Amino acid sequence: MKEDVTNNTKMSESKARLAILELAHIMSVPMSLTTIIKLKVAEAIWQDGSNTPLSAADILARIRPHGGGDADNLQRLLRMLTSYDIFDEHLSNCGQRKYSLTNIGKILVDDNQGLSCAYFMLQHHQDGLMRAWPLIGEAVEDPTIQPFVKANKESAFEYYLKRPDEMNLFLKSLSGISVPLMKDMLNKYDGFIGVETLVDVGGNSGITLRMIMDKYPNVLKGINYDLPGMVASAPPISGVIHVGGNALESVPRGDAIFIKWVFLGFTNEESKLVFQNCYKALPVEGKLIVCEPVLPELTDESHRTRALLGADIFIMTMYKTKGKHRTEQQFKQLGIATGFPHFRAFYFDPYLTLLEFQK
């Protein structure tokens, strides 16, 4: 009996050690994935939908038509990423390995609008952001300055604004996630019915607003309201009026206000200010439609919780040390504190939750 207990303890210690060994090498996952994206491996396998399993040598022949490259090392990346469900591995009797794309691998391939989730991965690992990661601890020591600023001597937005390629990648990374997500959400949520003037606060490129207007032609006027530097980089989009401004100071009037993926960059005090400015800009019964990452109350080990908490650290490190992801209760309280009597939450998507506040 005593021996069993010892064995169990030993087993749990070895599992614990394994967990640390996995975590110690976790960096190999994003680094290998960004490499695979830069090499255009997913496109080489996908080939307009064929998704035929290919060996590393076949893939190399497609991405390096003039020769060169090491198929064995490429296979090492493919094998490791298979363990993260990016690829399916097909092992033949003679030991040859071939790879096709899983559902996760498929969303790394550009669609007919030139968008995919690959850009989010690339944007999150570009040089300026990578320089900030080792400085996370600074956010604990001194929360007044973002680690990104300590590493790069300017804020992330100043950094993007000075570098058109980085700005373009930022816009594409958001659209690559937002477009499919919005398509899905607009099929499930009908809260834009009856709205004639819609303001998208922090609407970035304006692409989300255009999608809402396409689905709801009753929206005759769409105002994309974002920081002046951001709207200056936004492409012209038919029917969308780009307006530069700061939501912490004021918000343009509309029948409804939409804010997606923006509150995470505000402190609690700033979030309250923006809620107040939205309240002032809305008519009686007007809706503030918020679409944000919403944290679960309880911390568990699910993919959803990990994705949301991982991004919370990203915000703290890159954009604002006291910006954050919030729980449904925290959002509800923000609405109550700023005068919105009605509140509904819709969990259409596992990452972004739709929160509806009505005056």
Ligand X SMILES: C[S@@+](CC[C@H](N)C(=O)[O-])C[C@H]1O[C@@H](n2cnc3c(N)ncnc32)[C@H](O)[C@@H]1O
Name the one residue in this structure whose structure tokens are 């910006």: 323
Site for ligand X in 35-64 (CB under 6 A): none
Considering only the stretches 13-21, 40-48, 123-131, 259-267, report the one whose residues sit in contact with ligand X under the rule CB under 6 A.
259-267
Considering only the stretches 124-132, 134-142, 196-204, 323-331, report the one whose residues sit in contact with ligand X under the rule CB under 6 A.
196-204
Q: Residue 148 has which token pair?
A: 């990104």
Closest CA to 166 of 206, 218, 131, 142: 131
CB 243 to ligand X: min, Å: 10
CB 332 to ligand X: min, Å: 21
* Options 105, 202, 254, 286; binder of ligand X; rule CB under 6 A: 202
* Options 61, 107, 227, 311; binder of ligand X; rule CB under 6 A: 227
Residue number with CB closer to ligand X (32 or 178): 178
Q: Which residues pair with 85 in a beta bridge?
A: none
Helix/strand/coil for 51: coil
CB 264 to ligand X: min, Å: 7
H or E element in which residue 98 lies: strand 97-101
3-class DSSP string for 5-44: HHHHHHHHHHHHHHHHHHHHCCCHHHHHHHHHHHCCHHHH
Q: Is 203 in the site for ligand X (CB under 6 A)?
A: yes
Q: Is 18 in the site for ligand X (CB under 6 A)?
A: no
The span from the CA of 301 to the CA of 314, in Å, is: 18
The span from the CA of 155 to the CA of 311, in Å, is: 18
- Count helices and strands (H / E) in the chain: 17, 10
Considering only the stretches 87-95, 124-132, 185-193, 261-269, report the one whose residues sit in contact with ligand X under the rule CB under 6 A.
261-269
Considering only the stretches 41-49, 129-137, 226-234, 299-307, report the one whose residues sit in contact with ligand X under the rule CB under 6 A.
226-234
Count of CB atoms situated within 10 Å of the CB of 181: 18
CB 246 to ligand X: min, Å: 5
Considering only the stretches 12-20, 43-51, 195-203, 323-331, report the one whose residues sit in contact with ligand X under the rule CB under 6 A.
195-203
Q: For the chain, how many residues are written?
A: 359
Q: Is 140 in the site for ligand X (CB under 6 A)?
A: no
Residues found near ligand X in the complex (CB under 6 A): 174, 178, 201-204, 208, 226-227, 230, 246-248, 260-262, 265
